[in-house]
A and B are shown apart, each in its own frame.
Chain A
């Protein structure tokens, strides 16, 4: 089997996973900023937001 094809297959798995991790990281950062702004103190405790609920 060609190494190029295996490399492409690995990239097809790794690239969306890295993107997913980036999205979670960015979403957590935004939530943390919003929480801090809401509470008004930079040292306030941060509570995790509820995850996406499944409904079926």
Chain B
């Protein structure tokens, strides 16, 4: 009942209520941890519904357009974060999205690889799985290290910035001061290249905000969690908007799929956000790390199944 054929290379019909439920669950988790949920959505669409990898990436980006504009508007009045970081990174990020989309198209046209004695597998799927595992492993390790280091701190450090290694160790001129987050002499080329890398990740994997940019701002720049979130939202919105446009031009976006998921995730995000007031910050980070490890395990299991 209420099944629809989405086209997009998906041979079978998909239950719309099930997709909406997936959106609700992803939105709930995203709202709970304050992120877009792309890292959960892309693998779920690929492995749960058999959506081809490029369509899963494009549609996940498309639904993030809706969630990121909502988050941006909710954060705007608080004036948290440093918009200069977004503006400096924007150029590199937009170039990166273009590069990421082209990489995805190239991988999609590579066809199938025969690895060892196993069956031929889609090249794009193998590369995306490996990238997911590497990226999510790094994020999980950083969160674990942070949870371990702060285990004896009873009070959070508020909005105080403790300059991180990207600020103190990379000294490539010209520099920029970021007064809103108490940072001085931050390398502009480093920020531009970082924006490019983030853009490539968004264009290739349909992710970028929660599991990549926010940890970089927190652990690389030393920003507080709130300032990191307020900073990333503007860049995230422009990156996913351009990413969606480019992916749609390549035929990698299913608007129907994205909108059904977005409808569910809009409700889920509001419900998930309510839990942030009841659970302590450190527990939330620990749960998030377990969730990321679970996603790594699922992606790893599917990759091994593909290669068998």
| Contact-residue bracket for chain A | 20 to 34
Chain B hits for A24, CB < 8 A: 69-70, 73-74
The distance in angstroms between the C-alpha atoms of A17 and B68, with both chains bound, is: 8
Bound CA–CA A56/B266 (angstroms): 21
Convert A40-56 into 0s and 1s, putting 1 for each residue whose CB lies closer than 8 angstroms to a CB of B.
00000000100111111
Please measure, in the bound complex, the distance between the C-alpha atom of A17 and the C-alpha atom of B69, giving whole angstroms: 6
In the complex, are the beta carbons of B210 and A56 less than 8 A apart?
A: yes
Q: Which of A1, A12, A20, A54 contacts B226 (CB 8 A)?
A: A54
Instruction: Assess whether B78 is in contact with A51, with CB atoms less than 8 Å apart.
Output: yes
CB closest residue in chain A, given B237: A17
> Are B281 and A19 neighbours in the complex by a CB distance under 8 Å?
no
User: Nearest chain A CB to B191's CB is how many angstroms away?
Assistant: 20
In A1-43, the 8 Å CB interface with B consists of 1, 5-6, 8-13, 15-17, 19-21, 23-24, 27
Contact status A51-B225, CB under 8 Å: no
Q: A17, B66: Cβ atoms under 8 Å?
A: yes
Most chain A CB inside 10 Å of its own CB: which residue of B31, B272, B273, B284: B273
The answer to whether A52 and B241 touch (CB under 8 A), given A5-B249, A19-B266, A21-B73, is: no
By DSSP majority rule, is chain A's interface helix, strand, loop, or mixed?
helix
Bound Cα distance from A51 to B73, whole angstroms: 9
Shortest C-beta distance, B42 to chain A (Å), equals 16
A24 to B266, CA, bound (A): 9
CA–CA, A23 and B267, complex, Å? 9
B187 within 8 Å of A (CB atoms):
no
Q: Which of B261-308 contact A (CB under 8 A)?
A: 262-263, 266, 269-270, 272-273, 276, 281, 284-285, 288
| Cα separation A48 to B143 with both chains bound (whole Å) | 31
Residue B125 interfacial (CB < 8 Å): no
Chain B residues lying within 8 Å of A20, measured Cβ to Cβ, are: 65-70, 73, 262, 266
- How many CB-defined contacts (below 8 Å) exist between A and B? 120
Cβ contacts under 8 Å, A51 to chain B: 71, 74-75, 78
* B contact set with A: CB distance below 8 Å: 31, 33-35, 62-71, 73-75, 77-78, 139, 143, 210-211, 214-215, 218, 225-226, 228-229, 241, 244-249, 251, 253, 255, 258-259, 262-263, 266, 269-270, 272-273, 276, 281, 284-285, 288
8 closest cross-chain pairs (CB), A and B: A54-B229, A54-B34, A16-B66, A9-B248, A20-B66, A51-B74, A20-B69, A16-B65
Tell me the bound Cα distance from A16 to B244 in angstroms: 10
Could you give 17 example pairs across A and B, Cβ below 8 Å? A5-B249, A9-B245, A12-B253, A15-B259, A16-B258, A17-B66, A52-B31, A52-B34, A52-B269, A52-B272, A53-B226, A53-B273, A53-B276, A54-B214, A54-B229, A55-B225, A56-B214
Q: Evaluate contact between B281 and A55: CB separation under 8 angstroms.
A: yes
A54-B258 in contact (CB<8A) = no
How far is B226's CA from A9's CA once the two chains are assembled, in angstroms? Answer: 33
Query: B244 and A13: CB pair below 8 A?
Result: yes
CB–CB B255/A11 < 8 A: yes
Residues of B within 8 A of A1 (CB): 249
Question: Once bound together, how far apart are the Cα atoms of A53 and B77, in whole Å?
Answer: 14
User: B residues within 8 A CB of A11?
Assistant: 255
Given contacts A12-B245, A12-B253, contact A55 B74 (CB under 8 A): no
From A21, which residue of chain B is reached at the shortest CB distance?
B69
Which chain B residues border A27 with CB–CB below 8 Å?
A: 270
